[in-house]
Chains A and B, each alone.
Chain A
């Protein structure tokens, strides 16, 4: 009898165990409902480049390696990450070799080989294709396959940080068989391939309604037989951020919603319903105020904000640049506009942690109106009758522009108020984002033309290595009519010492030395006042309390580990 009881208990235990094992089976958790308030236009990230397209396609197509939530590389379709130590990266830094995982299949059942990887490179660099991710393949002269499971990438010049091509959500591998006839100018014509790429990822596209909704099914040929836990997935698009937040946090209609750009207090109310929670990840986005080093006086006509206009009459004074930064209370701006999605910063390279400098935090992170006032007094800027400082007929009154966005306009008001405490006036202006960032050389309102004294926006860099990003402040990257206003050195900062240091960075392979150099460059920009970094911005998304496995990632697609997501039982 006793034995029988024991046996029974054992059976129950075994059943319970079997029950939990079933949990880790493919397709047991029903439908995963994701909400993107900006609808997805295409599933080919090479033809769009928008974040929503890159993220949504990451459920289907994968790169060779991804970044995890800590910014470290994780092999996806390869056996290991090539380094100099394991011989994957050549000592002369001119080539690297990836070893593909064996047995990986495309969702149509055909084997994944080095040919597909080579084709992906050819597809993106083909002329007339307008590939949006071409920058990922910059400096790559050839991609070859010594054997079907090996990919060798050769660079035109030594690449100290070679992880760009086929790394991260921006450069996934596409199937040669599917896209063979879609190269170059023919790319847009392949609608069915662009709307339903065959991939190696956990899901396959079942139906795609452009600018509306995507239906996915679990990939039967996915390399891990136990994943994904969800049988299907629906990615709905459209609407606005606040109602997307409501659909997850309040009504519980969706499991996951991307990009909660909503006022902190609105989110706090919604969170009280207890149906969902927020997840935040900090990447490299920094909201900054660029100071114009050239004179933007409208009287100068076409010459304004160019070298011919000469230096800015007020901002050429280092004391003014430093005082503008000192007068700002970053924590107030953070609380009012960003909440969980931001932290005050004085760096333009705020992350990864190894690259983030702390050198200027002592003087810059804290508001110090007295020090700012003293600095201006000593430099000879005297307050006039209207409370605005002036010197030699030059007034400290600035045109302050940014893109139209409620958080940015609120920040403008706060900064204007803070600057008024040190006798600096500001005239506020906002420009529609599609014009401001549109880069139309005929428009006077683009951020590149910078027909203002100061301007505010956010920028960041892809991946974890800031080399290319820091090279944006080189003298020859200043936007001008000669280069069609296309340079990225928006503040028009120019310092030969900085240029030299960037050159050094591009030749250094040793990681700790690279970190050191990057910090030096970052500090130079903050100390000399090329810009005033304000807020290190994170990405905030929300998910249902019943959804397990979300590891919010700012270095790759937010949906990077969607294969591991499951529903809490």
Chain B
């Protein structure tokens, strides 16, 4: 298992390099322009100077190599310095700078990460917690009323987009009932019970929207996987041996059914980091998804490039984790 993991990790390096090049090339080919959003009153020659000051006048390959150096050498060194307090060289390094804010991209990401992990991560957790029991009961009582309602809700949750459910919840709970705020206060610090309640209140709507969406996806997987296992020979054997129905279901069937589900859940983790672009935008949560969409709209190429690449790293990483988990959970699977 160890050599397998190591080999996969080594393979990931060229894969990621290729991915970074493809992202860079695609962004370069895209016809958007960082000065495109500026008022037309800013004359063309000034726009040209702005582009030059962003480094856009250099050839493609030079810009790519510069980004590689900034991202793979300068930024890690910077993190190393701020963690240890030691200084490497003179400490003056060109960092990856966002074009819109002119500040280091990594600082922006660090600032946004907590909100995304809280809101989107919590929604994912709740989604999983809701999905598993519903999936189990739906499969066990296949075609019952519970199963029909569960299936219906899952289909609704899956097919109704979050930009609809989000606005619907705002109209009901913020505009009409006025229970929860429609705008997420990103300056709120939890210091006492009152601010904790305020934090809960502002998280309820976005978390609900996302949890509903996540749960409906995962519950279908759980149900399908349970159904596969319920008709297996070992279940019949267990029942014939007189094992209690509860144990059959929760120990034998559930544990086996969860193996593919764990893979699906692990593969979904990178989407937590990439945020929920639409939901974050609707509720004005300052997470990574919102950062990405503003960067795309403003043609902030270094920010888009860096964020997309980090997502690519996470996807490659969690694919590996899912494979390794599979091996641990299912002793029949051996990679070496």
A14-22, A429-437, A493-501 - the one binding chain B: A429-437
B291, A211: Cβ atoms closer than 8 Å? yes
A243, B182: Cβ atoms closer than 8 Å? yes
User: Would you list which residues of chain B between 257 and 315 have a CB under 8 Å from chain A?
Assistant: 281-282, 284, 286, 290-291, 294, 297-299
B286 touches which of A129, A130, A209 (Cβ 8 Å): A209
A439, B35: Cβ atoms closer than 8 Å? yes
B86 CB to nearest A CB, Å: 22
| Contact mask for chain B residues 94-116; partner A; CB cutoff 8 A; 1 contact, 0 none | 00011011111001100100000
A49 touches which of B42, B51, B294 (Cβ 8 Å): B42
A215 touches which of B37, B187, B290 (Cβ 8 Å): B187
B282, A239: Cβ atoms closer than 8 Å? yes
B28 CB to nearest A CB, Å: 10
A212, B36: Cβ atoms closer than 8 Å? no
Q: Does B45 have its Cβ within 8 Å of any Cβ on chain A?
A: yes
CA A131 – CA B52 in complex, angstroms? 11
A191 CB to nearest B CB, Å: 4
B175 touches which of A237, A251, A433 (Cβ 8 Å): A251
Q: Does A113 have its Cβ within 8 Å of any Cβ on chain B?
A: no
B43, A135: Cβ atoms closer than 8 Å? yes
Contacts of B52 in A (CB 8 A): 128, 130
Contacts of A42 in B (CB 8 A): 100-103
CA A192 – CA B233 in complex, angstroms? 67
Q: Does A111 have its Cβ within 8 Å of any Cβ on chain B?
A: no
Contacts of B297 in A (CB 8 A): 434
Q: Does B14 have its Cβ within 8 Å of any Cβ on chain A?
A: no
Contacts of B40 in A (CB 8 A): 437, 457-460
Q: Do A488 and B43 contact each other (CB < 8 Å), given the known contacts A129-B53, A213-B186, A254-B183?
A: yes
Q: Does B327 have its Cβ within 8 Å of any Cβ on chain A?
A: no
B102 touches which of A39, A47, A254, A436 (Cβ 8 Å): A47
B53, A236: Cβ atoms closer than 8 Å? no
A99-107, A152-160, A304-312, A440-448 - the one binding chain B: A440-448
Q: Does B38 have its Cβ within 8 Å of any Cβ on chain A?
A: yes
A437, B291: Cβ atoms closer than 8 Å? no
Contacts of B104 in A (CB 8 A): 191
Taking each of B42, B48, B181, which has the highest tally of chain A beta carbons within 10 Å of its own beta carbon? B42
Contacts of B101 in A (CB 8 A): 41-42, 195, 210-211
| Contact mask for chain A residues 210-224; partner B; CB cutoff 8 A; 1 contact, 0 none | 111101000000000
User: Would you list which residues of chain B between 10 and 35 have a CB under 8 Å from chain A?
Assistant: 31-33, 35
A434 CB to nearest B CB, Å: 4
Q: Does B47 have its Cβ within 8 Å of any Cβ on chain A?
A: yes
B44, A487: Cβ atoms closer than 8 Å? yes
Q: Do A246 and B36 contact each other (CB < 8 Å), given the known contacts A128-B53, A215-B187, A239-B284?
A: no
Q: Does B54 have its Cβ within 8 Å of any Cβ on chain A?
A: yes
Taking each of B41, B98, B178, B298, which has the highest tally of chain A beta carbons within 10 Å of its own beta carbon? B41
CA A458 – CA B39 in complex, angstroms? 10
Q: Does A48 have its Cβ within 8 Å of any Cβ on chain B?
A: yes
| Contact mask for chain A residues 22-47; partner B; CB cutoff 8 A; 1 contact, 0 none | 00000000000001000101101001
CA A434 – CA B181 in complex, angstroms? 32
Residue of A nearest to B46 (CB): A134
B183, A50: Cβ atoms closer than 8 Å? no
Q: Do A194 and B291 contact each other (CB < 8 Å), given the known contacts A50-B37, A434-B37, A438-B32?
A: no
Q: Do A185 and B53 contact each other (CB < 8 Å), given the known contacts A135-B43, A434-B299?
A: yes
Q: Does A11 have its Cβ within 8 Å of any Cβ on chain B?
A: no
Contacts of B284 in A (CB 8 A): 236-239
Taking each of A47, A194, A211, which has the highest tally of chain B beta carbons within 10 Å of its own beta carbon? A211
Which applies to chain A's interface (DSSP): helix, strand, loop or mixed? loop
Contacts of B175 in A (CB 8 A): 246, 250-251, 273
Q: Does A340 have its Cβ within 8 Å of any Cβ on chain B?
A: no
Q: Does A417 have its Cβ within 8 Å of any Cβ on chain B?
A: no
Contacts of B159 in A (CB 8 A): none
Residue of B nearest to A43 (CB): B101
Q: Do A211 and B36 contact each other (CB < 8 Å), given the known contacts A135-B46, A191-B102?
A: no
A134, B49: Cβ atoms closer than 8 Å? yes
A243 touches which of B44, B48, B170 (Cβ 8 Å): B170
User: Would you list which residues of chain B between 60 and 97 have a CB under 8 Å from chain A?
Assistant: 97
Q: Does A462 have its Cβ within 8 Å of any Cβ on chain B?
A: yes
Q: Does A461 have its Cβ within 8 Å of any Cβ on chain B?
A: yes
A207, B187: Cβ atoms closer than 8 Å? yes
Contacts of A486 in B (CB 8 A): 44-45, 47-48
A461, B103: Cβ atoms closer than 8 Å? no
A52 CB to nearest B CB, Å: 9
A433, B36: Cβ atoms closer than 8 Å? yes
Contacts of A348 in B (CB 8 A): none
Taking each of B39, B50, B181, B298, which has the highest tally of chain A beta carbons within 10 Å of its own beta carbon? B39
Contacts of A48 in B (CB 8 A): 100
Q: Does B319 have its Cβ within 8 Å of any Cβ on chain A?
A: no
CA A432 – CA B31 in complex, angstroms? 10
A423 CB to nearest B CB, Å: 33
B50, A35: Cβ atoms closer than 8 Å? no
B36, A439: Cβ atoms closer than 8 Å? yes
Q: Does B208 have its Cβ within 8 Å of any Cβ on chain A?
A: no
Residue of B nearest to A54 (CB): B39
B42 touches which of A35, A135, A215 (Cβ 8 Å): A135
Q: Does A247 have its Cβ within 8 Å of any Cβ on chain B?
A: yes
Residue of A nearest to B303 (CB): A211
B43, A434: Cβ atoms closer than 8 Å? no
A440, B31: Cβ atoms closer than 8 Å? yes
Q: Does B174 have its Cβ within 8 Å of any Cβ on chain A?
A: yes
Q: Do A238 and B294 contact each other (CB < 8 Å), given the known contacts A209-B111, A435-B31, A486-B45?
A: yes
B281, A240: Cβ atoms closer than 8 Å? yes
B281 touches which of A238, A250, A487, A488 (Cβ 8 Å): A238
Residue of A nearest to B52 (CB): A130
B38 touches which of A50, A131, A432, A440 (Cβ 8 Å): A50
Q: Does A132 have its Cβ within 8 Å of any Cβ on chain B?
A: yes
Contacts of B100 in A (CB 8 A): 41-42, 48, 210-211
Contacts of B38 in A (CB 8 A): 49-50, 132
Residue of A nearest to B298 (CB): A41
Contacts of B51 in A (CB 8 A): 130
Interface residues of A (CB under 8 A from B): 35, 39, 41-42, 44, 47-51, 128-135, 185, 187-188, 191, 194-195, 207, 209-213, 215, 234, 236-240, 243, 246-247, 250-251, 253-254, 273, 432-440, 442-443, 445, 457-462, 484, 486-488
- 14 A-B contact pairs sorted by A residue (CB < 8 Å): A41-B98, A211-B286, A211-B290, A237-B284, A238-B294, A239-B281, A434-B298, A438-B299, A439-B44, A445-B31, A459-B40, A459-B41, A484-B48, A488-B43
**Sorted from nearest, which 4 A-B pairs have the closest CB atoms?**
A130-B53, A438-B33, A438-B36, A486-B44
